[in-house]
Amino acid sequence: MRNLPAPLLAHILGDTTTLAYLWKIVRTDGVTATMTSLDEDIVFAGETYMASAGVDPTSVVRQASLQVSNLDLTGFCDVLLAPALESGLWDYARVELRLINYRTASDGTAILLTGRIGQVSWDEDKYTAEFRGLSQHFGQSIIELTSAECRATFGDARCTIDPALHTESGSVVSVADNASFVVSGLTIPDDYISGKISFNSGACSGYSMEIVSCSAVAGGAEVGLFMPMPFAVTAGDMFYATEGCSKLPSRCKTFGNFLNFQGEPFIPGTGKLLERPDAK
């Protein structure tokens, strides 16, 4: 049961309503966006909620149980631009959705949903952002399970390897597209598969992406990225790249770091349990 201010509840139960949604979205870097479904701006609690043409919310679904409350919102064309979406700037942004009587803001507001942005998809100029309620956290694993692969992140406190010792700088030589280009500066290209490239000049300066392929070619190394960079990659752009880790014991041994391997590769798996006594 949602508690509503008495004046707002009386207005909702009336024959005619003047209601609007207020969205407040706070990115993890602190940047805030405020929007309203009304066709004119609304000032509430000292903040201006901008009229956002084309924003279309689905019905808000709230559960009395611990099932996840959610809604989808399409639009955002004037706030969540494609490059910002692709670069992940809006990932895990905190969301607050309110209902207000825009004619009489003193009636109070009803908080319909709080949570974070989940999956974001886009098709041409139309964007859809999924908002996940706070109960989403109860569905997440908070303990580690055994695994054959290492559970540490390359360079963290459990791994103990210093990433700076496995990082090289270089520049872009030629570009096929924003996810594939030839670079210089990488001594052993194969070592950078599953690594990370971070640009420090050009339009993509400050942005990083995972490397999924890296092989030696004439003039340098051809790099393939997990996703295209959000802005144009051009010849001459500078970057630094950190070697990757396959999270397998063999890779850990090449770093001389097997004693810190955070996996259990020798625990028998389900295949062993299903073997018959006469199995060859």
Q: Tell me the mean pLDDT in the region 202-214.
A: 93
- Closest by CA to 170, choosing from 220, 243, 239, 234, is 239
Give residue 136's Cα distance to chain centre. 15
Q: What percent of the chain has pLDDT over 90?
A: 40
Percent of the chain with pLDDT over 70: 80
Question: In whole angstroms, what is the distance from residue 88 CA to residue 86 CA?
Answer: 5
pLDDT-derived band at 174, boundaries 50, 70, 90: very high
Mean pLDDT value across the chain: 83
Q: Which domains does the chain have, with CATH numbers?
A: 6-139 (2.30.110), 163-260 (2.40.10)
Q: What is the pLDDT of residue 122?
A: 66
Query: Within 13 Å, how many C-alpha atoms sit on residue 165's CB side?
Result: 6
Nearest Cα to Cα of residue 137 among 50, 68, 225, 54: 68
Q: Give every CB contact of residue 193 below 8 A, 6+ residues apart in sequence.
A: 211, 212, 213, 214, 244, 246
pLDDT at 173: 96
Q: Looking at residue 223, what is its pLDDT?
A: 97
Q: Note the pLDDT of residue 166.
A: 95
- Cα angle: 273, vertex 248, 223; to 5 degrees: 135
Average pLDDT over residues 60-66: 51
Q: Cα separation of 36 and 100, whole Å?
A: 10
Q: How far apart are CA 53 and CA 40, in angstroms?
A: 10
Task: Work out the average pLDDT over 28-55.
Answer: 82
70/246: higher pLDDT = 246
**pLDDT for 109 beyond 90:** no
